[in-house]
Amino acid sequence: MASIYIETYGCQMNEADSQYIADRASASGYAVTDDAAAANVVVINTCTVRDNAEKRAYGRMAQFKKLKLADPGVKLVVCGCLAEQDRDVMTGKAPYIDAVFGTRDLARLGDALATWRPEFGDDEIDLTQENLLLGKLGGHGDCVGDAYAHVRAFVNVQRGCSYFCTYCIVPHVRGRFDNRALDDILSECRAAIARGAREITLVGQTVNAYKEPASNADFADLLAIVSALPGIDRLTFLTSHPKDYTPKLAATMGALPNLNPRFHLPVQSGSDPILRRMNRKYSVAQYREKIALFRATCPDWALTTDLIVAFPGESDDDFERTLALCDEMSFAQAFMFVYSPRRGTPAALWEQVPPQIGGERLRRLAETIDRGVRAFHAPKIGTTVRALVQGPSRKDRSKLAAKTIDNVTVIAPAGALGEFELRERPWLDVSIDAVFTWGCSGEIAGIAARYDDPSPVAAARPTIDLVTAR
């Protein structure tokens, strides 16, 4: 039967798009596979947020050229943000690519898959076949179709971004804010729940700026409505902008019992002149105020962030302020980046900080962040946490990786547990015996179908129940 392999780079926007591509492919009779070499169609869903993402995508394309040489019938397809940025030059740079689809062309990509389908043999399309939706994806990027992919659903609430931070390519490759209609979001959530999703992530570049075009519902309203859908287990969202974190949203977050206790609020820098030049629309003092409100309404939640070092013009003093703010905030996790100039963005034209200074600042920042991460993980030792299975650990396939609702990675030996049990009962109760900066490790003490189900070992576990503890 015809098969498709999809490799995804970048953020939740691309994850959600890959999910759409997999769904369209399945509906046209493709099996989703984790073996690129065996696929009729190979899709690379690319990112261009930093230079290394762009280089990686071109590197991957060059590697996939082998597949094309071995079998000229294979179709190599590139989509996503780099495809949008380089649509006019990509086939010049990589002539063996069959098709390039920009971020606004996803529906056309779905149509093309349907059109190509007869080229790959005319065996009967069997939509009931187990491996159709459940087939595996793997490889170097993140993939949509692994064995437990159905337990997590990424639902787009908005496309694009209109904020134009001076370093950022996203508005240029994804367009301006385009909020989806509430009904469309809800029907996608309902479909995900029907497919067995245990965790719905509402995604967008600034989800908390969401405004339903027709009803004027804002993001707090949206959260409340989605969290009340029949059958929903857990709900979370990515990413938020500090400017749009309102008292109403804070109160709603604190009140919804099935919202995951994690909040990602990128601060980028701890220095006002830098924030201004980044066009971030808030000051350090305003960020502090927002976090005070957050801590008061959502105690014990995980607060995570994004940071950029060596932004053009960042002095030693600016950088020290970032370190001081991170010390003060004690983030539970942070994504840290050295500034990477992007073509067509204002900051790319400004005087740059030398790369060796960027590397050194990143190292020092990581030390500071790690202190907060360790402090966040430490209390989990000796407790049992409930975590949603992700799949075999990349480093050791005999272990399972899972994520707690406060977004901490947990690793434990799988023992006899396999897909058969875990597809129905994907929540693992793990008694934690060691903590690291990357997460925690322990032993599996039980499994559960839904987050609120009683634990099979309830009597034995001093559980930190992040939901009822609030």
Instruction: Enumerate binding residues for ligand F3S (CB under 6 A).
Output: 10-11, 13-14, 47-49, 80-81, 169-170, 173-174
**Residue 369 or 412 with smaller CB distance to ligand SAH:** 369
CB atoms within 10 A of CB 433: 13
Residues that bind ligand SF4 (CB under 6 A): 161, 163-165, 168, 170-171, 205-206, 241
- Provide long-range contacts, Cβ within 8 A and 24+ apart, for 353-360: 353/310, 353/311, 353/312, 353/313, 353/314, 355/310, 357/310, 358/309, 358/310
**Residue 306 or 327 with smaller CB distance to ligand SAH:** 306
> Which residue's CB comes closest to ligand F3S?
10
State how far the alpha carbon of 166 is from the alpha carbons of 204, 274, 347, 429, in Å.
Answer: 19, 11, 5, 44
Shortest spacing between CB 101 and ligand SF4, in angstroms: 21
Chain centroid to Cα 465, Å, comes to: 24
Hunting for tokens 């946490």 — which residue is that?
385
48 binds, among ligand SAH, ligand SF4, ligand F3S, none (CB under 5 to 8 A by kind): ligand F3S
Name the residue among 382, 411, 376 with its Cα closest to residue 394: 411
342 binds, among ligand SF4, ligand F3S, ligand SAH, none (CB under 5 to 8 A by kind): ligand SAH
Residues that bind ligand SAH (CB under 6 A): 49-50, 161, 167-168, 170, 205-206, 239, 241, 266, 268, 306, 308, 337, 339-340, 342
Shortest spacing between CB 163 and ligand SF4, in angstroms: 4
* Residue 20 · residue 57 · CB < 8 Å: no
Shortest spacing between CB 164 and ligand SAH, in angstroms: 11
**Residue 206 or 393 with smaller CB distance to ligand F3S:** 206
171 binds, among ligand SF4, ligand SAH, ligand F3S, none (CB under 5 to 8 A by kind): ligand SF4
**Residue 369 or 466 with smaller CB distance to ligand SAH:** 369
* Residue 430 · residue 402 · CB < 8 Å: yes
* H or E element, residue 226: helix 219-227
Shortest spacing between CB 161 and ligand F3S, in angstroms: 8
Indicate the pairing of strand 41-46 with strand 3-8.
Answer: parallel
Shortest spacing between CB 133 and ligand SF4, in angstroms: 31
Shortest spacing between CB 47 and ligand F3S, in angstroms: 3
Q: For residue 361, what are its two tokens?
A: 């600042």
**Residue 170 or 444 with smaller CB distance to ligand SF4:** 170
Q: For residue 335, which amino acid is it?
A: F
Shortest spacing between CB 40 and ligand F3S, in angstroms: 25
**Residue 101 or 245 with smaller CB distance to ligand SAH:** 245
339 binds, among ligand SAH, ligand F3S, ligand SF4, none (CB under 5 to 8 A by kind): ligand SAH
| Strands of the sheet with 302-309, listed across from one edge | 262-264, 302-309, 333-338
Shortest spacing between CB 26 and ligand SF4, in angstroms: 30
CA–CA distance, 283 with 278 (Å, rounded to integer): 11
* Residue 195 · residue 423 · CB < 8 Å: no
Name the residue among 303, 319, 299 with its Cα closest to residue 311: 319
- Provide long-range contacts, Cβ within 8 A and 24+ apart, for 12-16: 12/154, 12/201, 12/203, 12/238, 12/239, 13/156, 13/159, 13/174, 13/203, 13/204, 13/205, 14/45, 14/46, 14/47, 14/80, 14/81, 15/142, 15/144, 15/154, 15/203, 16/154, 16/155, 16/156, 16/203
**Residue 171 or 392 with smaller CB distance to ligand SF4:** 171
**Residue 203 or 267 with smaller CB distance to ligand F3S:** 203
185 binds, among ligand SAH, ligand F3S, ligand SF4, none (CB under 5 to 8 A by kind): none
Shortest spacing between CB 72 and ligand SF4, in angstroms: 39
* Residue 79 · residue 43 · CB < 8 Å: yes
50 binds, among ligand F3S, ligand SAH, ligand SF4, none (CB under 5 to 8 A by kind): ligand SAH
**Residue 272 or 306 with smaller CB distance to ligand F3S:** 306
236 binds, among ligand F3S, ligand SAH, ligand SF4, none (CB under 5 to 8 A by kind): none
